[in-house]
Amino acid sequence: MTRSLLLLLALALPVYSAPAPFPCHQGKGRPIRRACLVGTWEALWNGAPCQFTFAEDGTYSYRPGVSGGQVWVGTWTFQGRTLRVCEQYEVGKFCAPPPSGSFWEVDLDSRMDGTTREKWSGSRLQLLRCKGR
């Protein structure tokens, strides 16, 4: 009886011991899929904590971390390795007119890390962990 109970526990434990792997962690050099970016991310923008939300419908928001600064909203696309964001300030429930050149692009590597191009050349984006979809 004891032996049967131990065997049952030994077989059941692995099922509960580890969550399913994050579907986007495909290993070094493997491509990132658009679906991998959908969700709310804890991130670093030039080393400062922040939150990015990339919705399935293509909408986007950025919230600074501790500082509680300006919220940005807009749209996003992802093709190949390139994440492109078009954004503007959020003002209440409405969006203010975007400042000129209100977009940025970054080529993400397999660690969800990259450096921006275009106007903000040299800014670093690091997507750390997805908090939910």
**What residue type is 39 in one-letter code?**
G
Position 93 scores a pLDDT of: 57
Cβ-in-10-Å burial (0-12, 13-18, 19+) of 103 comes to middle
The domain defined by 2-132 folds into Lipocalin (2.40.128)
Name beta bridge partners: 94.
Answer: 91
Mean pLDDT of the chain: 75
In eight-state DSSP terms, residue 120 is: G
* pLDDT tens digit sequence for 54-66: 999 999 999 988 6
Position 5 scores a pLDDT of: 44
Q: What is the pTM of this model?
A: 0.71
Q: What are the structural domain ranges in the chain? A: 2-132
Q: Name the 3-class secondary structure at 112.
A: coil
